[in-house]
Amino acid sequence: MEIWEVVLIGVALSMDAVAVGLTDGMSEPHMGRGKTCLVAAVFAVFQFLMPVLGYYAGYAFSSVVEKVAPYVSFALLALIGVKMIVDCALELYKKRRAARAASSEDTEGDFAPPEPSELSRKGKFGVGKLLLQGIATSIDALAVGVTFFALDTADSLPMSAIWCSVIIGAITFALSFCAVLLGKRAGDRFSDKAEIAGGVILIGVGLKILLEGIL
């Protein structure tokens, strides 16, 4: 294996994180630069840790990873995706009820539009959800770590498994950061239904991982 092949592996492994990062940006279009970096960093840390864990677990862990990884990834992403869709649907329902109530008022002074601070809170997610996303999008990297172990045993790894994992993590950070920025732009334009779209994408990513694992 050459260094450029490690880079390609990093790009391939980061694609799920890129898709999820895109939905995070869409669901929170006013996300600050610090949180954008945090989202990308969480994905990068998990993409770094999982190959390292897989490497040190070795062959004994490979069969377990191959059996459960697709199901766990699908379950986590589907759970998050469904929750995003439900939350957004409830938010749209509340907005429509408020609009109907406002239209029935005799005077405009009885109804005040939402404050900017309330709008900025829409779609925000916490650390727990972000950690679940990081785990779900990086479980398959465990198997890559086992592959690194096999290659290292045959003296075919171009560098230590730690440095290979660093490359994977760095690539994931860069691509995820760009994905969140793109998602923020799209979400700012289509904020009302961005979270529903994000939920559908998450479920689709999870289904893709599941099908790739069982077919």
- Cα separation, 24 vs 64, in Å, equals 30
The answer to whether the CB of 148 falls within 8 A of the CB of 39 is no
Q: How confident is the model at residue 115 (pLDDT cuts 50, 70, 90)?
A: very low
- Rounded to the nearest integer, the mean pLDDT of the chain is 78
Instruction: Mention every residue, 6+ apart, whose C-beta is less than 8 A from residue 178.
Output: 18
- In sequence order, which residues have a C-beta less than 8 Å from that of residue 14 and are 6 or more positions away? 43, 47, 168, 171, 172, 175, 176
Residue 62: is its pLDDT beyond 70? no
3-class SS at 106?
coil
For the record, the structure tokens of 159 come out as 């560098």
Section 89-111 average pLDDT: 71
The whole-number average pLDDT for the span 172-189 is: 84
**In this structure, which long-range contacts are made by residues 201-204, counting pairs with CB atoms below 8 Å and at least 24 apart in sequence?**
201/19, 201/20, 201/22, 201/23, 201/81, 202/19, 202/20, 202/23, 202/77, 202/78, 202/80, 202/81, 202/84, 203/77, 203/78, 203/81, 203/82
Pick the most confident of 53-57, 113-117, 211-215. Answer: 53-57
Q: How far is CA 42 from the centre of its chain?
A: 9
pLDDT at 202 over 80: no
> Do residues 142 and 53 lie in contact, with contact meaning Cβ atoms separated by under 8 Å?
yes
Please state, for a pLDDT cut of 90, what percent of the chain lies above it. Answer: 15
pLDDT at res. 171: 94
